[in-house]
A and B are shown apart, each in its own frame.
Chain A
Amino acid sequence: MPDYANPNAIVETQWVADHHNDSNVCLVEVDVDTNAYEEGHILGAVGWNWHTQLQQGVVRDLITRDELDKLLGSSGIDPRTTVVLYGDNNNWFAAWAYWQMKYYGHVDVRLMNGGRSKWVAEGRPLSTEPPTEHLKSYSASLPLHSIRAMRDEVVQDLGTAAMVDVRSPKEFSGELLAPEALPQEGSQRGGHIPGAVNIGWAQAVREDGTFKSADELAEIYGKQGVTRDKDVITYCRIGERASHTWFVLKELLGYDNVRNYDGSWTEWGSSVGLPIDR
């Protein structure tokens, strides 16, 4: 992947097949379908449940540093571990976990290009065997606030930042409140943040789920005004699809100032008094 700004941010399925037993590599599967891991995963991979392990249970927020320390340590990850994330739905929640790990300063984290579906499509094996338990000690860094946008910061940046709404066209227009295959819940109003452009996350991938070339990606975002000289904010409904696009802009295209607004539409579309376009 020599044309990507950070070629070390992704690995191919063959690399995973060759290295998944390396002592310094930890595979982690994170799926939209939280049952998928139990039905079969890459041998040795740890499974994280995005719903119960990557967000707080009561307050709506990312897990705390302490919780992350425990999760990573119990997964056999220390600060020097190469963590390779993959999952279903073209790595939606794997990208979310990637972004969270960067938020807490993990250095060597990568996405498996094409995710779980590509691994399966290639006829590679899955296992139901639980991974061997290796406990490690982990101590996360202070949060990297420069890659996260909070609601009030988005309000402040209306009209100046390039807002990228990565949801489907009907969510952007306000016709739907959530992805069409999911219950229509989560926000009080439909529509989008004023000034946002709609570039669905899937614009970034090929038919096998792997990322398009850097030149293609630069054209897709550039022609909609999402250029590297701007402050860019990505959002979706709850932040995971936006993490996928954050990954593309930050790691594959090397944009300096890209933040993921993980409060996303479920927060914006339910907040009293915030402006909405349809």
Chain B
Amino acid sequence: MNVDEVRSYDGQSVIMTLAPGAPAGLKVKGQVVGFVEAADGFVVVLCPEGAAPDARTSVHYQHIVSIATNA
């Protein structure tokens, strides 16, 4: 999974499968609301499906196994 591919989902509702050990769990659904970029990698910030509009879940891209639009 490369950073550009993940970045292309900005603003979309997605479903992600995550590697074991990801703080968000093995699967997360939500809208991609932005990214945190730092020297140790790229973190996707989502508003989880069904959560309050200001709720946030963060996923380091190294934990992402797959990502797809959640139609």
Give chain A's interface residues, CB within 8 Å of chain B.
Answer: 32, 89-90, 92, 167-172, 179-182, 198-200, 202-203, 205-209, 212-213, 216, 220, 223-224, 241
| Pairs A-B, 5 closest by C-beta atoms | A207-B34, A179-B40, A207-B45, A169-B62, A202-B43
Q: How far is the CA of A172 from the CA of B19 in the complex (A)?
A: 13
Tell whether A220 pairs with B23 under 8 Å between CB atoms, given A179-B39, A206-B56, A207-B35: yes
Contact with A along B24-39 (1 / 0, CB 8 A): 0000000001111011
A202 touches B38 (CB 8 A): yes
Give the residues in chain A near B40, CB-CB below 8 Å.
Answer: 167-168, 171, 179-181, 200, 241
Q: How far is the CA of A224 from the CA of B43 in the complex (A)?
A: 19
B55 interface contact, C-beta 8 A: yes
A205 touches B39 (CB 8 A): no
Please report whether the interface of chain A is mostly helix, strand, loop or mixed according to DSSP.
loop
Give chain B's interface residues, CB within 8 Å of chain A.
Answer: 19, 21-23, 33-36, 38-41, 43, 45, 54-56, 58, 60, 62-63
The residue of chain A having its C-beta at the shortest distance from the C-beta of B38 within the complex is A89
Give the residues in chain B near A207, CB-CB below 8 Å.
Answer: 33-36, 45, 56
Other than the given A198-B23, A207-B36, A207-B56, 13 more pairs (CB < 8 A) read A32-B39, A89-B38, A90-B36, A168-B41, A169-B22, A180-B40, A182-B39, A200-B23, A202-B36, A206-B34, A209-B36, A216-B55, A224-B23
Tell whether A168 pairs with B36 under 8 Å between CB atoms, given A180-B41, A203-B23, A207-B45: no
Q: How far is the CA of A169 from the CA of B56 in the complex (A)?
A: 19
A92 touches B38 (CB 8 A): yes
Give the residues in chain A near B54, CB-CB below 8 Å.
Answer: 213
Tell whether A169 pairs with B19 under 8 Å between CB atoms, given A200-B60, A207-B33: yes
B36 touches A198 (CB 8 A): no
Shortest C-beta distance, A72 to chain B (Å), equals 27
Q: How far is the CA of A213 from the CA of B51 in the complex (A)?
A: 14
Name the residue in A168, A170, A220 with the highest tally of chain B Cβ atoms < 10 Å from its Cβ: A168
Shortest C-beta distance, A122 to chain B (Å), equals 15
Tell whether A216 pairs with B43 under 8 Å between CB atoms, given A199-B23, A207-B34: no
Shortest C-beta distance, B31 to chain A (Å), equals 11
Shortest C-beta distance, B11 to chain A (Å), equals 11
A168 touches B62 (CB 8 A): yes
Give the residues in chain A near B19, CB-CB below 8 Å.
Answer: 169
Q: How far is the CA of A206 from the CA of B45 in the complex (A)?
A: 7
Q: How far is the CA of A213 from the CA of B33 in the complex (A)?
A: 17
A205 touches B58 (CB 8 A): yes
Shortest C-beta distance, A241 to chain B (Å), equals 7
Partner of A90, one of B23, B38, B55: B38
Q: 20 interchain pairs (CB within 8 A)?
A: A32-B39, A89-B38, A92-B39, A169-B63, A179-B38, A179-B41, A180-B41, A181-B40, A199-B23, A200-B58, A202-B38, A202-B58, A203-B58, A205-B36, A206-B45, A206-B56, A207-B36, A209-B36, A213-B54, A216-B55
